[in-house]
Amino acid sequence: MEREGFSARLIAWQEQHGRHDLPWQNTQDPYRIWVSEIMLQQTQVQAVIPFYQRFMARFPDITELALAPVDEIMAHWSGLGYYARARNLHKTAQTVVLQGLNQLPTDPIALEKLPGIGRSTAAAIAVFSSGRRAAILDGNVKRVLARHFAIPGFPGTKAVETTLWSLAESLLPNSKMESYTQGLMDLGATLCTRSSPRCERCPLHNTCAALRQDRVDHYPEPRPSKPRVERHAKAWLIRRGKEEILLEQRPARGIWGGLWCLPEAVPEYLQSQVQKGGEPILIEHNFTHFRLFLTVEPVKWNHPEASQDHILHEPGMPHQRWFTLEEALSAGLPAPLRTLLKGLERG
């Protein structure tokens, strides 16, 4: 009876108190739902909204996305982080269009076969686009279920995750899947939050095991702590005159994959013709598993002979190109580099 009441109370709460006016709601378009679900992975709703609106204005359907240059997609994603998500969006769009389709599938099994779409994301797309009966299990949902049913252990472990998936499947209602699924998302995002949960307003508080035990803060158990690794690297801020800067495109895989960054070394053809351009700049940036300390060495190169569109793209070498500051700020850049270049623009 407790499990039957879980879904009914959640649906009733969502329909009255949940979120109903987010930019990706009130549609059954699987493309728009898919883009929003990918953007929302490990990213807060308020941070996603402006990126989503700009992205959809430029890439309104899956065909537009498939045909767009990957550089332009990365530029529209710049600042949102976890850049593999953008590359996988492009790969999926191309896969679907090459299959002769003009829309994303809505079957969760078919969706899971596409790049960057896991089990929970596939279920969310299927639920919101076609009302399919499928369970989701993102970070917010794991927290709600772990607290309500007092599930011990860190949800990132295989055993605990298996338990939570089984529980999520068993709680599915027979109708109103959209309201139920959105309710789980809304509850975890607005009331059953990681810190300072508002249990008194929760529609499930009467049956919450963690609340009954007075141990809400103990569920779910946190990731076992590890010392944060520090990494140190060096890059070169190479300027030609006041307006141009040399950038190189990073490999598709790895840190800032596919983005335009400062070169990690002065190219050979410039080495004898550069001069110190200022004091080193230290950039600190947090990644999920480490903290990066990047020392940027400013240098000047005023040689007049290289053309404006000089491009270095030799086999096995990074793709390097001169940009004006305006062009660079329109390219796909990591957030800390964008901040650095905006400072140059103002200066």
Contact 338, 79 (CB under 8 A): yes
Q: Which residues contact 74 (CB under 8 A, 6 or more apart)?
A: 83, 86, 87, 258, 259, 331, 332
Q: Which helix (H) or strand (E) holds 201?
A: none
Provide the H-helix boundaries in 218-268: none
Catalytic residue among 4, 15, 37, 169: 37
3-state secondary structure 29-81: CHHHHHHHHHHCCCCCHHHHHHHHHHHHHHCCCHHHHHHCCHHHHHHHHCCCC
The answer to whether 37 is a known catalytic residue is: yes
CA distance 176 to 180: 6
Number of neighbours of residue 336 by Cβ within 10 angstroms: 17
User: Nearest to residue 76, comparing CAs of 92, 62, 90?
Assistant: 90
User: Nearest to residue 312, comparing CAs of 236, 243, 249, 237?
Assistant: 249
Crossing angle, helix 119-130 and helix 30-39, to 10 degrees? 140
Give the residue numbers marked as catalytic. Answer: 37
